[in-house]
Amino acid sequence: MKTLQLEEHLSFAPEVRAALDENRPVVALESTIVSHGMPFPENVETALQVEAVIREQGAVPATIGILNGKLCAGLDAQQIEQLGKTGKKSLKVSRRDIPFALIDRTAVGATTVASTMIVAQLAGISVFATGGIGGVHRGAETSFDISADLQELANTNVAVVCAGAKSILDIGLTAEYLETYGVPVIGYNTDCWPAFYTRKSEFPVDYVMDNTADMAAVLNNKWTLGLDGGVVVCVPVPHEYEHDADVINAAINSALQEMEQKAITGKASTPFLLARISEITGGSSLATNIQLVMNNALLAANLAKDYSALQL
């Protein structure tokens, strides 16, 4: 894309633009977690807390969204509140939706993992923190429901720090899909995929690493060699916020049954399931979700610092 054309569609928060120009570390953050993943006002409070965690580590947060017909690399507090208040009425924007979301300058667009990766790469941001990635849905052998996040990871040069795939998904098939497309999965001090609300699953990661300096070296090697595509960094939820596996799995199964009965599919499925699981668990799953996002942001900030140091 020509620079002029890119500037027509992409805007930078001043803080983010300055950091990128000076090769200081920047961490991208998605906005569907604000609009569709949590209720107001917890969503706005969490978004601002996550940004604060990143700043405390010496990096710059760049919450990604679509406002005024622009892809925004970085939102200010007022814009984040606008997204939070608009909530599920905002457009949930993945790769296919970006060109359409830019047409309506009055639309509020919240970016998924896939579209956040796209905007991050366009902006020159290499590290992205989120809660959990999308993946292969349970029952995909008949529904063919597979998140666009996985193809984005196969093609887009951004490291995604997460608590694994959302546990409403089929983690094993998600891991197989990523392996097929050559996307490495790093476990931070864990030899298995976390299961989002819980620290462990039965599915092994590709590599175990215990420091962000080595992770940054891997990213640098991969992309310098022209090995395009993302990297998944799995970070288990902190022990004190981990759910009992039996309790959370029972809640997930109940929510999945309700979703099927109500014939909820597509973009509406994940927000429905997360909200319903929160209701079934009396809000404790939401508390876990908030804590794991902040934990991921902390590691992502340190990874961004180590990676930017290699670009000097």
- 180 burial level (CB within 10 Å; 0-12, 13-18, 19+): exposed
* Residue at token pair 């920047």: 26
Q: Among 91-100, 264-273, 301-310, which stretch is predicted with the lowest mean pLDDT?
A: 264-273
Q: What is the mean pLDDT of residues 46-69?
A: 98
- The angle that helices 284-310 and 42-56 make with each other, rounded to 10 degrees, is 30
Q: HSE-up of 266 (CA within 13 Å, CB side)?
A: 4
Catalytic positions are 30, 166
Strands (DSSP E) found in 1-69: 10-12, 26-29, 60-67
242: its two tokens: 């981990």
Q: What is the mean pLDDT of residues 114-139?
A: 95
pLDDT confidence of residue 284: 86
Reported as a single tens digit per residue, the pLDDT across 110-125 is 999 999 999 999 999 9
C-beta of residue 230 within 8 angstroms of C-beta of residue 183: yes
Phi and psi dihedrals of 38, rounded to 5?
-145, 155
For residue 231, what pLDDT band results from cuts at 50, 70 and 90?
very high
Q: Among 84-93, 132-141, 188-197, 218-227, which stretch is predicted with the lowest mean pLDDT?
A: 132-141
| Contacts of residue 122, Cβ cutoff 8 Å, sequence gap at least 6 | 1, 6, 10, 71, 73
How far is Cα 112 from Cα 94, in angstroms, rounded to an integer? Answer: 6
pLDDT at 4 over 60: no
pLDDT at 266 over 80: no
pLDDT confidence of residue 3: 52
CA angle 123, 152, 218 (to 5 degrees): 75
Q: How far is CA 156 from CA 122, 131, 172, 182, in A?
A: 10, 19, 22, 12
Reported as a single tens digit per residue, the pLDDT across 179-226 is 999 999 999 999 999 999 999 999 999 999 999 999 999 999 999 999
62: its two tokens: 């760049």
Q: Among 9-13, 201-205, 276-280, which stretch is predicted with the lowest mean pLDDT?
A: 276-280
Average pLDDT, the chain: 93
Q: Among 65-69, 82-86, 253-257, which stretch is predicted with the lowest mean pLDDT?
A: 253-257
Is residue 180 classed as helix, strand or coil in its secondary structure?
helix
pLDDT confidence of residue 1: 43
β-strand pairing of 207-209 with 185-188: parallel
DSSP 8-state class, residue 146 = B
DSSP 8-state class, residue 298 = H
| Structural domains of the chain, ranges and CATH numbers in brackets | 3-310 (3.40.1790.10)
Portion of the chain with pLDDT greater than 90, in percent: 76
C-beta of residue 166 within 8 angstroms of C-beta of residue 245: no
Q: What is the mean pLDDT of residues 240-257?
A: 87
- 114 burial level (CB within 10 Å; 0-12, 13-18, 19+): buried
pLDDT confidence of residue 269: 79
Element (H, E) at 141: helix 140-143
How far is Cα 66 from Cα 205, in angstroms, rounded to an integer? Answer: 33
pLDDT at 168 over 90: no
Q: What is the mean pLDDT of residues 66-94?
A: 96
Residue with the bigger pLDDT between 179 and 288: it is 179
Strands (DSSP E) found in the chain: 10-12, 26-29, 60-67, 70-73, 91-93, 108-111, 127-129, 159-162, 185-188, 207-209, 231-234
pLDDT confidence of residue 300: 98
